[in-house]
Amino acid sequence: RLGLKTNFIGKNVHYEESVESTQKIAHRLAYDNAPEGTVIIAEEQVSGRGRMDRKWHSPKYTGVWMSIILRPNIPLPKAPQLTLLAAVAIVQAIEDLTDLLPEIKWPNDILIRGKKVTGILTELEAEADRINSVIIGIGINVNPTIEDFPSELQEIATSLFVEKGEKVSRSDLIKRIFMNLEKLYLLYLEEGFLPIKLLWEGYAISIGRKITARTLSNSITGTAQGITDDGVLIMVDDHGKTHHVYSADIEL
Ligand code: BTN
């Protein structure tokens, strides 16, 4: 129905009008042995989930809310690499379809002019130390106006429509993401993370800048040096001490 040019990503699409969260459905399908590349797309999520237990605002018809099931044969600690890979695939899709210049804020926020247009939530199904599946949840604000966002988001969020001044076809966007994701994922499986890391660094805004990384229990201020080969953020604080940050919110 989408007229796809991919071999596995998006070949098996579950399309829903309204769901609690596409992540929840993806977990169930992954458990039931859905093939790699299975995608769940919904027009609306009534309890869309963000990182760190936050909600993700997912109103009807204006966004892309989807979850993609991958089954890479990689060690557990490497799973965060796939979040960075997905971010590159989405940034490239936005560049392919618009003249906008999206940037990536580690680990996985996509910003345009400093405001968030996309969030990515990667979750794992693992048994012992083996990955069974990686579920990549992608939320993109495509066509809402700024008034469509709840007031508390209007300062920090944006949409492709708001930035471009024209509607963007959601199905074209989804198709580009599937194509880019499949290409990058195959490259990753062949050649490892290095080529992905180089692409990612080309879009990253946090690197080389003074930032604060906040987790639920802790916060570190320092300069972001780069990412490790596993996709972990390296920071050096004002005392010269190096920190490896696995998961946090970054303030620029
Ligand atoms: C974040 O930035 O906090 C991540 C947001 C991820 C939102 C997407 S929308 C599709 C998928 N289903 C969910 O419930 N969440 C993810």
Chain segment 20-58, per-residue pLDDT in tens: 999 999 999 999 999 999 999 999 999 999 998 899 999
Asked whether residue 50 is marked as a ligand-binding residue, the answer is yes
pLDDT greater than 80 at residue 63: yes
Ligand 1 atom closest to 45 (CA): 14
Please state, rounded to an integer, the average pLDDT across all residues of the chain. 95
- Residues whose CB is less than 8 angstroms from the CB of residue 26 and which lie 6 or more positions away in sequence, other chains included: 38, 40, 67, 68, 69, 135, 137
Please state the ipTM of this predicted complex: 0.99
Asked whether residue 51 is marked as a ligand-binding residue, the answer is yes
pLDDT greater than 80 at residue 151: yes
Q: How far is CA 22 from the centre of its chain?
A: 14
Candidate of 22, 49, 66 to mutate for ligand 1, largest count of ligand atoms within 8 Å of Cβ? 49
Please state, for a pLDDT cut of 90, what percent of the chain lies above it.
86
Candidate of 117, 138, 174 to mutate for ligand 1, largest count of ligand atoms within 8 Å of Cβ? 138
Q: Looking at the domain 210-251, which fold is it? A: SH3 type barrels. (2.30.30)
Average pLDDT score over residue span 208-233: 91
Average pLDDT score over residue span 121-140: 93
* Residue 217 pLDDT class (50, 70, 90 cuts): confident
* Residue 198 pLDDT class (50, 70, 90 cuts): very high
pLDDT greater than 70 at residue 204: yes
Nearest CA to ligand 1 atom 15: 49
CATH fourth-level superfamily of 13-203: Bira Bifunctional Protein; Domain 2 (3.30.930.10)
Asked whether residue 116 is marked as a ligand-binding residue, the answer is yes
Residue predicted with more confidence, 50 or 1: 50
Where in the chain are the domains?
13-203, 210-251
Average pLDDT score over residue span 201-213: 93
* Residue 1 pLDDT class (50, 70, 90 cuts): low
Cα–Cα distance measured from residue 214 to residue 249, given in angstroms and rounded to the nearest whole number: 5
What is the predicted pLDDT for the residue at 235?
A: 96
Task: Report the sign of the C-alpha dihedral through residues 65, 75, 217, 27, in that order.
Answer: positive
> 92 in helix, strand or coil?
helix
What is the predicted pLDDT for the residue at 187?
A: 98
Average pLDDT score over residue span 210-217: 90
Nearest CA to ligand 1 atom 3: 50
Task: Report the sign of the C-alpha dihedral through residues 161, 18, 173, 183, in that order.
Answer: positive
Cα(238) to centroid of ligand 1, in Å?
34
Around ligand 1, the residues with Cβ closer than 6 Å are: 21-23, 45, 48-51, 54, 56, 58, 65-67, 109, 119-121, 137-139
What is the predicted pLDDT for the residue at 128?
A: 84
pLDDT greater than 80 at residue 237: yes
Ligand 1 atom closest to 22 (CA): 12
Cα(65) to centroid of ligand 1, in Å?
7
